[in-house]
Structure 1
Amino acid sequence: MEMVGPYVRLAGYNYTLSNRGQKMSNADAAKPVAYSYIRFSTAQQALGDSLRRQVELTEQYCEEHGLALARASAYRDLGVSAFRKKNIEAGKLAEFISAVKSGKVASGSYLIIEQFDRLSRAEINVALRLFLDLVDAGIVVVTLADRKVWNKDSVADVGDLITAIIYMSRANDESERKSDRLSAVWAQKKKRAADGTATRIVTSEAPRWLRANADKTGFAIVPELAESVKRVFEMRINGAGVVAICRRANQERWPLPGKMPVQKAAESDSDFAERRKASGQWHQSLVSRILKNRAVLGEYQPRRLDAENTGNRVAVGEPIRGYFPAVIDETTFLRAQATSLRRGVRPGRRDPHARNWLYGLVKCGQCGNSLVRKNKTSTKQPGYSRYYCVARVRGVTKCPSVNSAQLEALVNFVTASWLPNNWAVDTSLEALKARADVLEVAIAASKKNIDGLADLAGSVTAASARKALIEKLDTEGDALGVKEQELARVRAELADSTSVNNSEDVHDRLLKIAREIDEIASGHAGVDGSLRLREELARLFQKVVVYQEGGYIEFFIKGRTEPVWLPLDFVSLEPPSEPSAEQLEAAERDIDAVRHAMGA
């Protein structure tokens, strides 16, 4: 084996250090290895001439100067920005830099680029450091635009080095000006959208259940996709979790409001077909995003790229209401959020068939843990079941169990008989409204305080004072986040409570709940019925506490300060017996006596 510059000669064959195993022709045996780096910043440029031009210029240069082009090791950042340093930090250029550092790309190899702006458009110090690091590692950089070769000798020349710096400065300045112009245009578009003076939409990008009009003056709802969104919210309000919604959507093949895939560069037709097939399925992440996306209400949240910190898109300013056509009303959206807030105490995926429809609601009076329903398989007592404390199930306590028929009958009685006769508008509604008002005032004050602190931090010169102000800003920002989360919770609970109290006939609704309890007890209700009942009861009751040893049960009803108390034996478990002949005769005598008295 013989080392010859940046390649290895072995038994008549030649292998580049970065691409071992690929046979090179004897004619290329003594040629230095060249690597091409091709970049453009927008995907649209792939459809134009940029890629073809850069490839042809690279091949032509290698042929003219006797270089062996490592075609299998071409480095391409297609649609990647060099202004934001994405190609340096995570792109194919980053892979090349790593290969140089590890020695996989040998010293003496060539890196061919069209011009300096393909390598980097970042600030001068970043671009120059990158360029000099490559040259110091023995890489020969070629810029095709001027056919200039940049190596250790050329960068040692002050004139050449200044020329390189000018090129880099020009690339950065051009990107900076373009970024500023685009930012100003977008800011003006968003301002017009916010104040209602816009005649055209800000961007054609929209939620997947909408399509931009041909004249770009608004958006149209795609009916079948909007219907899928509505079904997601309907199932959520009725108690279904994200997993159950996703499963149902795939089983029933709901139209998918997702982004259609685009074939990537160098992706085979078979791989693309497989990816396109997978993208046609509902995923839990999609369901979660839909349930949290306020665009269903018609809101548009302007965003910008946080290039300096996370690289993610962050919200800018307040949401613009009425920008999109709404497919869900505010009450429906908030009720879905209220259901999500209750998921922490509901069984969720641990009870996919909703057999424990009281789980999370009924508690053990002895230890405070939840009661869970356990079915007993018995030929003598088919359908027999009991409720056990989860601490007892884990072997921690010996709390007594509760007969399921007795407990469920008591829940049924309170719902169907006691509540309709003692129903009053939930007094907690006014308290929730007052709490929401207080939070809104506090949030407005926090935002004003943050703006003042930010202005002050920008004007002070002392480092210690600026540090103290920044720490205070962080603290105030955390407090603002807590207040906003609490306001969201209060609004969701308010919408949930209002939906109960604003029913056209609360009594009918309560009787319907009682009928559903009977259906579940008799095994006639499906999963959807059990889930819906579970959520309806959670809207009525805070909790139900069973004191088995004390022989009583307490119902904590939302809007009431005192619980409703009932003895456990209030509902008899004994089946009704047939009256005796003597009892029938006595009843007939009583009826005759009443008739005689009424006739008199």
Structure 2
Amino acid sequence: MRALKQYKNFNNAHWFMPSDKKKCYSYIRWSSDKQSSGSTLARQLKTAQEIAFEQDLELVEMIDSGISAFKGKNAKDGELGRFIDAVENKLIPDNSWLVVENLDRLSREAILSAQRLFMKLLELGITVVTGMDKKIYSGKSVTENPMDLMYSIMLFARAHEESKTKSKRTYGNALGIIEKHNNGERNADGYAIAIKSVGTNMWWSDCSDGSVKPHPVLFPIAKEIINLAINEGMGTHSIVKFLNNKYPDVLTSSKKQDGTWTLNRISQMLKKRVLLGEKVVNIDDVEHVLTDYYPPLCDEDTFYKLRAARQNRNIKPEHTDKVYLFLGRDIIRCGHCGAKMTSHTTNENKEKGKYDKFRYKCASGQNATGKCRAWSFNAIWLDDVVVRLAANHIFRPLHKSKDIDLAIKGLEENLADKQVQIDNLVKVIMSGVTTAAIPKQIAELEDQVQQLTRSIESSKNHRATELTQTVEWGEVDERVLDYHQHEIRQQLKEKVRLSVKQVICQQVKAKLVKFTITFINNITIVAYRSPMTLAFDGGAWNALGDFYKHPVSLTKAEQFKGHIKEPPNKQNVDIAPPADDPVIRSVLISNYYDYERKKLTEAKQKELGVTELNFDQKLDIKNTKILTPSDEQLEAIHKEMFSAPASNIGENDSYQYQGLDDVSSEMMDLLESGDKPKELLHDLTRVEHLTNWANGFSKDVPKVIESQFRTFKHKYKSHIGHKAKSAIHYIDEVNVGSSGIITHRAPIKEPNK
């Protein structure tokens, strides 16, 4: 069902106005401009007014102009479809009446589809009245008199046959022109024969005399657009702005276009092969591709260069004084509707020209498409999150040459298009249309496919041998959070482009955003950001470390522990006295302290009758002084409680390092003694940057940073440290699921509801 937010766009705002009077909805539809200029509207409306008066109903008008019911478009995209959705969502009472001139106003589809729509209306409780004969249909009436149902079926069958006959005449004319075109026939002036009965012709063509000629005014403008896109490097927004300034009155208005240059007109133009002169016609689910139909605007090399450049280029911001790190190359998207996120800069002090609010906004909401609302968030939040999580990491492998990537992309798209063309020609043959030109076209296309395949393979081999490099993130200059530091931000933007595959943004509630960040090594980190707090998935962040899952040699003490195979309460464990080895003795003392604190915790829980102590109680136990154990106590601990220090210990010679949450006490001892293991040193450097980067530089820096395993930053130092139980403490809406991954407790807010 459509989101309820969309109902604000209905033609009649009073559809949902409260009233005690039962409503009569008049549904008026016509499929052509010729009908609209005649008596169709007046005739259908007069009938509805008479029925509303006779039945003491409040009349509400619904009009679908220029929409055909032959393929059910009016029930999917028109006012009739929105009416049905409103009834299903209880916005329109289910005892309302629907007046139509005849049942064929509802549908001209095949009998089963038309009858299904009719029955759906009756099952929803709607009473349907036909103005032609003032016959009333309701769920009750067709149940009591099944002949009414049979009569409706006959009417739908007749309407479908009439539309089908009309469609065959229309399609027959188009198919005749298509066959002539594929056989090489053209008008006497050398131009293609225009197809007017099916679809529309491009705005830069002139088909007024039956030939497809270049429009004397619009064709040069179309060529200028291509030049602006490929040689001037202008984006769609800039091109539209340029055209509306230079050519404001050259386009004619229509039902779908108001005569102005729009983003949709230009973006659709620049991505289709129509630039090469091709026309695509769909008839009865068969796609006919007509080459050399339109006068071409560019050659094939230019077309693929244009397409690849537009898909992969770094889009320059409209204002040269700001650099958004995540714009370009389709990196950042709205998680609610899938649309791109775009930049949004607010100017709080226009007199001084000061731009100091930088945000990302859903492009769908900004363009008012109805799919999403124009929600936004502070752009610095995303900058800060990615810099903190990615710093001091080496991303590999990576291919940095944009020219080769563009070339490969262009070749691959050219290949895909050629394969589609072959498939379409095969479908044409299977549909029964055969000409001598089609087999020749297929053979030529197959030769081109082979050449393109070889070129792609060669380019990929060249890239693999010459361009494989790494992207190293060291510590990042904190000034990158200042949007006026253009050069620094541009340098970081290049790293982002080469390191981040995608960012999905979702609004959990006001001032709380979820980021799902996927890096080029396919590691995805989920992070939540509020004005005060950054919470992120610590497990995924561990996996991003350069030494994650690298083998770590066991220390002497770890090897000793790894030899203990019996459960800790077995009495037959024959182990040398702890005093014989100073390393083992130090390990035992550490374990003894842990053991004693565990007993204190269990005793406190039993005393209070709880299963979990609060923070202050845990802190009291942590600060409780424990006396140094005697040799006898160490020996008892030695026999009773030894186990391997790391959960993933191997065959007594090494184990896989899995980040700071799976480190043996011996490795920590080595760090404190000055023997700095590279694994720990690397991750501790990452923690330092994560915690302290840009402190005091920007008011948008988080005051609290935590994962589900530990708190890295907090106003109170006593709150910092490892968490006894996986949890998120400082954002109420975020929880840790059964799998240990952080998630939102309540459903994420859908902006369009």
Normalised-by-shorter TM-score class: 0.3 to 0.5
> TM-score, length-normalised on structure 2?
0.38
